[in-house]
């Protein structure tokens, strides 16, 4: 919502010109709007109701090059029943902070009225610049606290929790906390900027209580809400879409959702789990681009292993022997499919597009080469866990 100073500027100009006035941020999201004087059109009504317009219309508006304007100019939109507009860029100290809009119903905006509009835009620029400075200071302070909140120093975590409580950022009622992390696979400075912008875009539409922190290759969000109330799907979709629009399909970005923390002192666990889940999404593409802790099965245990230990553990003798006798990987693929379908012969045969007799023959060969029996629990566990370890080890080696 608009603050009082910004709303006062909008209302004062609207009364003097007897026209409705609105101010948007640089992404065409409504910051303040005056009452209407019978000059509203469908786009203005939608903007007031939704605090934004459609992404297609936003692209059309920005396509006029208004982000480079330093003086007011006319904008004509192609949409049906949409009236022309006067757009005055809102700037301060060289920064573009938004746009001031007047609907130009009858093309009667003379030089004096345009000058009044420019003056109002300049005043709005000062208001938004002050707001930006305060926001950046507050953001920097909160980021510093969040980094301490997940540090390896227990005393620092306790102090950070106390500092956050002193900020009165979270509701007084009992709540829980969830960390959502975004991880970039590789990338450069441009990818880091794209990630921060994508996270900001992902959070913009919500009113949830959250804090964020970002660095070169990862960003994370701390939500103060029960897991069921955290808008993971909506936020993830916006982050992924925005990142792709800025950085393309390479580098890749994935989302990890951590466990639930019942208090601020336990957020460090949710943070760790969120980025372990993100690592799982990077290493095992079958998981998808959004990975949730608690839904990753054996990977939740395996990913906690140091990389060197995992690489060593992946060298399972039985699977190494199977691989030596399986140059084309048919038996390895068969065994993976068999385990993934919990030993269901029909489902496995259907997946592999083979007759069940062929599948039984392959399973017998697997037992012969590995020296294991698939009807023995320990042998089953050895082979199944070994395949998971091999998958992670291969992914680590590719990344190295």
The CATH number of residue 105's host domain is 3.30.450.40
Task: Give the tokens for residue 104.
Answer: 């130009």
C-alpha–C-alpha distance, residues 273 and 278, integer Å: 8
Based on the fold, state whether residues 297 and 311 are members of the same structural domain. no
pLDDT of residue 219: 92
Record the tokens describing residue 8, joined without a space. 């006062």
Pairing type for strands 95-103 and 21-24 reads antiparallel
Q: Is residue 148 part of a domain?
A: no
47 lies in the same domain as 109:
yes
Check residues 1 and 399 and name the one with the higher pLDDT. Answer: 399
Question: 9 pLDDT exceeds 70?
Answer: yes
- Would 159 be classed as within a structural domain? no
In a domain, 32, yes or no: yes
Least confident of 100-104, 245-249, 323-327, 353-357: 245-249
- pLDDT tens for residues 89-124? 999 998 999 999 998 876 667 888 899 999 999 999
Provide the pLDDT confidence category of residue 72 given band limits of 50, 70 and 90. very high
Domain identity same for 272 and 392: no
- Mean pLDDT computed over 249-268: 92
Answer yes or no: is pLDDT of 83 > 90.
no
Domain match, 215 and 294 both: yes
Is residue 161 domain-resident? no
Q: Residues 285, 312: one domain? A: no
Residue at 59 is within a domain: yes
* Structure confidence at residue 251 (pLDDT): 84
From 77, 107, 133, the end of a domain falls on: 133
| 85-92 sheet: strands from edge to edge | 30-33, 21-24, 95-103, 85-92, 73-75
What is the band of 400 on the pLDDT scale with cuts at 50, 70, 90? confident
Domain count, the chain: 3
Q: Considering only CA atoms, which of 398, 372, 394 is closest in space to residue 314?
A: 394
- Return d(Cα 114, Cα 70) in angstroms, integer: 13
With CA atoms as reference, report the closest residue to 259 among 231, 295, 205, 298: 295
For 343-370, what is each residue's pLDDT tens digit? 999 999 999 999 999 999 999 999 999 9
Task: Read off the pLDDT band of 37 (50, 70, 90).
Answer: confident
Please, which pLDDT band fits residue 245 given cuts at 50, 70 and 90? Answer: confident
Work out the pLDDT band at 381, boundaries 50, 70, 90: very high
Is 109 a domain residue?
Answer: yes
Together in a domain, 298 and 312 = no
Q: For residue 267, what are its two tokens?
A: 């957020």
Q: Is the pLDDT of residue 147 over 70?
A: yes
Does residue 37 share a domain with residue 127? yes
Mean pLDDT of 17-21: 91
Give the pLDDT of residue 107: 62
* Nearest residue to 333 (alpha-carbon basis) of 362, 308, 371: 362
Rounded mean pLDDT of the chain? 90
Q: In whole angstroms, how far apart are CA 210 and each of 42, 76, 206, 293, 315? A: 33, 38, 10, 19, 43
DSSP letters along 289-312, please? SEEETTSSTTHHHHTTS-HHHHHH
- The pTM of this model reads 0.73
Are 8 and 128 within one domain? yes
Determine the structural domain holding residue 9 and report its residue range. 4-133
pLDDT of residue 209: 74
Domain boundary among 270, 302, 334: 302
pLDDT average, residue stretch 214-237 = 88
pLDDT band at 125 (very low <50, low <70, confident <90, very high): very high
End-to-end CA distance of the chain: give it in Å, rounded.
48
Q: Say whether both 273 and 322 belong to one domain.
A: no
- In terms of domains, do 315 and 225 share one? no
Instruction: Yes or no: say if 319 and 383 are a contact pair by the CB < 8 Å rule.
Output: yes
Nearest CA-CA partner of 78 in 68, 99, 67, 64: 64
**Least confident residue range of 142-151, 224-233, 328-337:** 224-233
Average pLDDT of the segment spanning 154-167: 92
The Cβ of residue 79 has, within 10 Å, a number of other Cβ atoms equal to: 14
Tell whether 365 and 380 lie within a shared domain: yes
Q: At 220, phi and psi to the nearest 5?
A: -145, 155
Band (pLDDT 50/70/90 cuts) for residue 71 is very high
φ, ψ of residue 372 to 5 degrees: the values are -105, 160
The CATH number given to whatever domain includes residue 357 is 1.10.10.2840
**156 domain-assigned:** no
Maximal C-alpha separation, the chain: 92
Asked if 185 and 192 touch (Cβ cutoff 8 Å), the reply is no
> Would you state the pLDDT for residue 187?
67
**CA 154 – CA 158 distance, rounded (Å):** 6
**Which stretch of 102-116, 200-214, 223-237, 306-320 has the lowest confidence by average pLDDT?**
200-214
Q: Give me the pLDDT at residue 203, please.
A: 82
Structural tokens at position 36:
């209407």
Handedness of CA 175, 273, 192, 247 (dihedral sign): negative
**What pLDDT band is residue 215 in, cutting at 50, 70 and 90?**
confident
Q: Are 23 and 6 in contact (CB under 8 A)?
A: yes
Q: Which residue has the higher pLDDT, 335 or 171?
A: 335
Instruction: Label residue 52 by pLDDT band (50, 70, 90).
Output: confident
State the pLDDT confidence band at 57, using cuts at 50, 70 and 90: confident
Nearest residue to 19 via CA among 44, 47, 38: 38
Residue 1 has pLDDT above 50, yes or no: no
Last residue of a domain, one of 282, 302, 322: 302
- Shared domain for 256 and 316, answered yes or no, is no
168 domain residue, yes or no = no
* Percent of the chain's residues with pLDDT above 70: 96
CB 292 within 8 A of CB 277: yes
pLDDT greater than 70 at residue 174: no
Structure confidence at residue 225 (pLDDT): 84
Residues 276-293: tens digit of each pLDDT: 999 999 999 999 999 999
């Amino acid at each position: 919502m608009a603050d009082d100073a910004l709303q006062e500027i909008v209302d004062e100009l609207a009364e003097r010109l007897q026209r409705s006035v609105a101010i948007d941020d640089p992404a065409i999201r409504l910051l303040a709007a005056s009452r209407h004087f019978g000059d509203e059109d469908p786009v203005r009504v939608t903007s007031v109701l939704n605090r934004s317009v459609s992404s297609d219309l936003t692209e059309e508006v920005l396509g006029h090059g208004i982000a480079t304007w330093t003086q007011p100019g006319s904008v004509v939109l192609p949409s049906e029943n949409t009236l022309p507009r006067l757009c005055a860029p809102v700037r301060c100290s060289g920064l573009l902070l938004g746009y001031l809009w007047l609907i130009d119903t009858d093309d009667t905006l003379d030089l004096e009225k345009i000058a009044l509009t420019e003056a109002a835009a300049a005043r709005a620029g000062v208001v938004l610049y002050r707001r930006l400075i305060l926001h950046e200071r507050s953001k920097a302070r909160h980021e510093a606290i969040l980094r301490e909140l997940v540090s390896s120093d227990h005393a620092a975590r306790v102090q950070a929790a106390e500092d956050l409580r002193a900020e009165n950022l979270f509701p007084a009622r009992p709540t829980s906390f969830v960390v959502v992390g975004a991880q970039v696979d590789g990338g450069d400075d441009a990818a880091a900027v794209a990630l921060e912008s994508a996270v900001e875009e992902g959070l913009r539409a919500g009113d949830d209580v959250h804090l964020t922190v970002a660095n070169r290759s990862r960003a994370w969000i701390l939500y103060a809400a029960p897991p069921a109330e955290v808008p993971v799907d909506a936020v993830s979709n916006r982050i992924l879409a925005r990142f792709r629009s800025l950085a393309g399909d390479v580098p890749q970005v994935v989302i990890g959702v951590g466990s639930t923390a019942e208090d601020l002192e336990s957020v460090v666990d949710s943070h760790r789990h969120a980025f372990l889940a993100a690592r799982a999404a990077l290493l095992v593409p079958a998981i998808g681009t959004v990975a949730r802790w608690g839904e990753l099965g054996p990977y939740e245990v395996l990913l906690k292993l140091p990389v060197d230990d995992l690489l060593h553990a992946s060298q399972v003798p039985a699977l190494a022997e199977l691989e030596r006798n399986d140059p084309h990987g048919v038996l390895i693929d068969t065994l993976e499919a068999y385990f993934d379908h919990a030993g269901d012969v029909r489902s496995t045969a259907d997946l592999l597009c083979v007759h069940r007799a062929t599948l039984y023959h392959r399973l017998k060969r697997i037992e012969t080469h590995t020296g294991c029996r698939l009807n023995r629990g320990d042998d089953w566990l050895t082979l199944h866990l070994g395949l998971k370890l091999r998958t992670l080890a291969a992914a680590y080696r590719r990344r190295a």
